[in-house]
Amino acid sequence: MPRITELDVIDLRFPTSREKDGSDAMNPDPDYSAAYVVLRTDAGDGLEGHGFTFTIGQGNEIVCAAIEALRHIVIDRDTAGLFGGMGAFYREVTSPNQMRWIGPEKGVVHLAAAAVLNAVWDLYAKVEGKPLWKLLADMTPEELVAVCDFRYVTDVLTPQEAVERLRARQAGKAEREREMREVGVPAYTTSAGWLGYDDEKIVALTREAIAGGWDHIKIKVGQDVEDDRRRLRVIRDEIGPDRKLMVDANQVWDVDEAIAYVEHLKEFDLWWVEEPTSPDDALGHAAVARAIAPIRVATGEQVQNRIIWKQLMQSDAIGFAQIDAGRLGGVNEAVLVMLLADKFGVPVCPHAGGVGLCELVQHLSILNYISITANLDDVVVEYIDHLHEHFLDPVVIRDGRYIAPRRPGYSAEIHADSLRRFRYPDGPEWAGEPAPALTVSGGE
Amino acid sequence: MPRITELDVIDLRFPTSREKDGSDAMNPDPDYSAAYVVLRTDAGDGLEGHGFTFTIGQGNEIVCAAIEALRHIVIDRDTAGLFGGMGAFYREVTSPNQMRWIGPEKGVVHLAAAAVLNAVWDLYAKVEGKPLWKLLADMTPEELVAVCDFRYVTDVLTPQEAVERLRARQAGKAEREREMREVGVPAYTTSAGWLGYDDEKIVALTREAIAGGWDHIKIKVGQDVEDDRRRLRVIRDEIGPDRKLMVDANQVWDVDEAIAYVEHLKEFDLWWVEEPTSPDDALGHAAVARAIAPIRVATGEQVQNRIIWKQLMQSDAIGFAQIDAGRLGGVNEAVLVMLLADKFGVPVCPHAGGVGLCELVQHLSILNYISITANLDDVVVEYIDHLHEHFLDPVVIRDGRYIAPRRPGYSAEIHADSLRRFRYPDGPEWAGEPAPALTVSGGE
> pLDDT digit string (tens) for B399-422?
999 999 999 999 999 999 999 999
Name the residue among A235, A239, A237, A295 with its Cα closest to residue A271: A295
Distance from CA of B156 to the nearest CA of A (A): 10
* Residue A167 phi, psi dihedral angles, 5° rounding: -60, -40
Distance from CA of A278 to the nearest CA of B (A): 7
What is residue A23's predicted lDDT score, i.e. its pLDDT? 67
- Is the pLDDT at B44 greater than 70? The verdict is yes
pLDDT above 90 covers what percent of chain B?
Answer: 85
The Cα B23–Cα B19 span in angstroms is 9
- Is the pLDDT at B444 greater than 50? The verdict is no
| Chain A contact probe: residue of B63, B94, B102 with most A CBs at under 10 A | B102
Q: 239-258 in B: which are within 8 Å (CB) of A?
A: 251, 254-257
Sign of CA dihedral B115, B121, B127, B129: negative
Going by pLDDT thresholds of 50, 70 and 90, the confidence category of residue B248 is very high
**A171 CB neighbour count, 10 Å cutoff:** 10
Distances (CA, A) of B111 to B22, B52, B135: 20, 9, 23
The Cα B297–Cα B279 span in angstroms is 12
DSSP class of residue A241 equals T
**B395 CB neighbour count, 10 Å cutoff:** 22
- Is the pLDDT at B22 greater than 70? The verdict is no
- Model pLDDT for residues B58-73, shown as the tens digit of each residue: 999 999 999 999 999 9
Cβ of residue A20 closer than 8 Å to a chain B Cβ: no
Cβ of residue A106 closer than 8 Å to a chain B Cβ: yes
The Cα B197–Cα B247 span in angstroms is 15
What is residue A444's predicted lDDT score, i.e. its pLDDT? 40
The Cα B206–Cα B238 span in angstroms is 7
pLDDT average per 10 residues of sequence, chain A (444 residues): 97 88 73 97 98 96 97 97 98 92 97 98 98 98 98 98 98 98 93 70 88 88 92 93 95 98 97 98 98 98 98 98 98 98 98 96 98 98 94 96 98 97 95 63 51
What is residue B434's predicted lDDT score, i.e. its pLDDT? 64
DSSP secondary structure of B126-152:
HHHTSBHHHHHHTS-HHHHHHTS--TT
Active-site residue, selected from the candidate residues A220, A310, A386, A390: A220
- Is the pLDDT at B303 greater than 50? The verdict is yes
User: Is residue B12 a contact partner of residue B425, using CB atoms and an 8 Å limit?
Assistant: no
Three-state SS letters, B185-198: EEEEECCCCCCCCC
- Please indicate whether residue A220 is annotated as part of the active site: yes
User: Is residue A29 a contact partner of residue A20, using CB atoms and an 8 Å limit?
Assistant: yes
The Cα A96–Cα B442 span in angstroms is 9
- Radius of gyration (Cα) for chain B, nearest Å? 21
Mean pLDDT on B215-220: 89
DSSP E strands: which ranges in A31-156? 33-41, 48-55
What is residue B29's predicted lDDT score, i.e. its pLDDT? 83
State the helix-helix crossing angle for B330-344 and B306-314, rounded to 10 degrees: 10
* Residue A98 phi, psi dihedral angles, 5° rounding: 70, -45
What is residue A199's predicted lDDT score, i.e. its pLDDT? 84
- Model pLDDT for residues B322-345, shown as the tens digit of each residue: 999 999 999 999 999 999 999 999
The size of the A-B interface in CB pairs under 8 A is 230
DSSP E strands: which ranges in B259-308? 270-274, 296-299
The Cα A295–Cα A297 span in angstroms is 7
* Residue A26 phi, psi dihedral angles, 5° rounding: -95, -35
Cβ of residue B28 closer than 8 Å to a chain A Cβ: yes
Asked if B440 and A91 come within 8 Å (Cβ–Cβ), the reply is: yes
DSSP secondary structure of B368-393:
IIIIII---TT--EEE--SSGGGBSS
Cβ of residue A434 closer than 8 Å to a chain B Cβ: no
- Cβ contacts (< 8 Å) between B302 and chain A: which residues? 101, 104
Mean pLDDT on B380-398: 95
Mean pLDDT on B343-369: 97
Cβ of residue B155 closer than 8 Å to a chain A Cβ: yes
Identify the H or E element spanning B165.
helix B159-167
- Model pLDDT for residues B160-199, shown as the tens digit of each residue: 999 999 999 999 999 999 999 999 999 998 766 666 677 8
Nearest CA in chain B to A439: B97
User: Is residue B122 a contact partner of residue B57, using CB atoms and an 8 Å limit?
Assistant: no
The Cα B112–Cα B97 span in angstroms is 15
User: Is residue B206 a contact partner of residue B192, using CB atoms and an 8 Å limit?
Assistant: yes
What is residue B213's predicted lDDT score, i.e. its pLDDT? 86
Distances (CA, A) of B247 to B231, B265, B316, B415: 11, 9, 20, 34
Cβ of residue A107 closer than 8 Å to a chain B Cβ: yes
Asked if B440 and A281 come within 8 Å (Cβ–Cβ), the reply is: no
Q: Is A284 helix (H, G, I), strand (E, B) or coil?
A: helix
Virtual torsion, Cα A173, A174, A175, A179, nearest 10 deg: 100
Name the residue among B14, B9, B114 with its Cα closest to residue B389: B14
User: Is residue B206 a contact partner of residue B216, using CB atoms and an 8 Å limit?
Assistant: no
The Cα A353–Cα A260 span in angstroms is 26
Q: Domains in chain B, ordered, with CATH?
A: 4-139 (3.30.390.10), 169-407 (3.20.20.120)
User: Is residue B371 a contact partner of residue B335, using CB atoms and an 8 Å limit?
Assistant: no
* Residue A61 phi, psi dihedral angles, 5° rounding: -65, -30
Residue B380: Cβ-neighbour burial (10 angstroms; 0-12, 13-18, 19+): buried
- Is the pLDDT at B443 greater than 50? The verdict is no
